[in-house]
Homo-oligomer: A and B are copies of this chain.
Amino acid sequence: MYRFNCDYLEGAHPQLLKRLTETNLEQTIAYGADEYSKSAKEKIRKACKCENAKVFFLVGGTQANYTVLDSILKNYEGVLSADTGHISVHEAGAIEFSGHKVLTVPGTDGKIAAADAKDYLEKFYADATYTHMVRPGAIYISHPSEYGTLYTKDELKALRDLCDEYSMKLYLDGARLGYGLAAENTDVGLSEIAEYCHAFYIGGTKVGALFGEAVVFTDESSGDYFFTEMKQHGALLAKGRILGLQFDELFTNDLYYNIGKHAVALAMKIKKAFVEKGYKPYLDSYTNQQFFILENEKLKELLEKVVVDDWGPVDETHSLIRVTTSWATTEEAVDYLISLI
């Protein structure tokens, strides 16, 4: 049965697995000091047009988020997030485990608007008791967001300007970044992200890798002791070259971008088909996650033949579903899905 319920259902893009296999018996230095990791870091720096960026490879997204945020926040600071942000909802309190409060701002379609963040900050500092409250030290955004939406360059810039005004850091969770870079009409590439964010990660787990996320610090004053912080947070892989090799391959011959394009093209095909059949998208996503409202009856029928992600009821007779494509989704699977609606 075809599955469209998430983008981490398969192993790795075959080129990555091939590379791991070819190099398998080579002996390399541990903990990311190997040549493959160095090469991958250099390619990422170039892709970001930020030659002094500090690049580190971690294993997963929650791990990346809480290790980076604990590194860039002061011990008395919290992080602003949309109420739907992954760190606020689905990381089992990892941010709080590391001692920091997640401060929520109402989001719109998964995004946090600079105006809403500004409103939060103005009210915060206008409150006579603010020194008894958790100081916002960073803004967390996800791009694409948990709802597949994207920031524009202007929106990113507005958030960065706000951060500069309030001495905060801007951190971007790029778990699905490849699918954002490949979206039609986006004006945000890696170099814009590197320009506006103090730190971010380029997601591998959901974009072709077996696992792995590349954390990038563009902020000069951040990340100097991140290697030790990774060890301290249980986030340092012994055989670092496994991460290095995968990212080296992803950043060779535009593989990372091509994976994105493949998945997004299929997602757009699905979107178009649903719209043609009269299903209104729940929101306007141009990335690999698509959201539709279905009659419960229809959903039940559909789930007998394919797996989509049921996000629960929106009213008594309808439910919200998420359909996700990835590097591994085939044209054949998509056509089959379309044939069912």
Annotate A241-260 by CB proximity to B: 1 below 8 A, 0 otherwise. Answer: 01000000000000000000
Contact of A20 among B2, B11, B74 (CB under 8 A): B11
B90 in contact with A242 (CB, 8 Å):
no
From residue 180 to 226 of chain A, which have CB atoms closer than 8 A to chain B?
A: 205-206, 210-211, 225
What CA separation (Å) do A172 and B127 show in the bound complex? 26
Instruction: Tell me how far the C-beta of A225 lies from the nearest C-beta in chain B, rounded to whole angstroms.
Output: 5
Instruction: Tell me how far the C-beta of A274 lies from the nearest C-beta in chain B, rounded to whole angstroms.
Output: 21
What B residues does A59 contact at CB under 8 A? 59, 237
B76 in contact with A228 (CB, 8 Å):
yes
Q: Is A10 an interface residue (CB 8 A)?
A: yes
A211 in contact with B234 (CB, 8 Å):
no
What CA separation (Å) do A233 and B233 show in the bound complex? 8
Q: Is A151 an interface residue (CB 8 A)?
A: no
Q: Is A60 an interface residue (CB 8 A)?
A: yes
The count of identical subunits is 4
B8 in contact with A23 (CB, 8 Å):
no
What CA separation (Å) do A85 and B59 show in the bound complex? 25
What B residues does A131 contact at CB under 8 A? 92, 227-228, 231
Q: Is A302 an interface residue (CB 8 A)?
A: no
B89 in contact with A93 (CB, 8 Å):
no
What B residues does A227 contact at CB under 8 A? 131
Which segment of A62-70, A110-118, A314-322 sits at the interface?
A62-70
Q: Is A94 an interface residue (CB 8 A)?
A: yes
B78 in contact with A75 (CB, 8 Å):
no
Q: Is A27 an interface residue (CB 8 A)?
A: yes
Which of A2, A20, A101, A211 has most chain B Cβ within 10 Å?
A101
Contact of A63 among B75, B91, B235, B312 (CB under 8 A): B235
What B residues does A27 contact at CB under 8 A? 2-3, 9-10, 328
Contact of A93 among B90, B205, B232, B328 (CB under 8 A): B232
B132 in contact with A228 (CB, 8 Å):
yes
Which of A23, A211, A228 has most chain B Cβ within 10 Å?
A228
What B residues does A2 contact at CB under 8 A? 27
A62 in contact with B96 (CB, 8 Å):
no
What B residues does A228 contact at CB under 8 A? 76, 92, 131-133, 135
What CA separation (Å) do A203 and B245 show in the bound complex? 23
A233 in contact with B11 (CB, 8 Å):
no
A238 in contact with B211 (CB, 8 Å):
yes
What CA separation (Å) do A237 and B64 show in the bound complex? 12
A97 in contact with B14 (CB, 8 Å):
no
Task: Known contacts A76-B232, A229-B76; decide if A92 and B133 are in contact (CB<8 Å).
Answer: yes
What B residues does A28 contact at CB under 8 A? 9
What B residues does A296 contact at CB under 8 A? none
What CA separation (Å) do A33 and B253 show in the bound complex? 35
Contact of A75 among B12, B24, B75, B242 (CB under 8 A): B75
Can you pick out 18 interface pairs between chain A and chain B where the beta carbons lie within 8 Å of each other? A2-B27, A8-B30, A10-B26, A10-B27, A25-B328, A60-B234, A76-B229, A90-B129, A90-B133, A91-B132, A93-B100, A93-B101, A132-B231, A135-B225, A205-B239, A206-B238, A210-B239, A234-B235
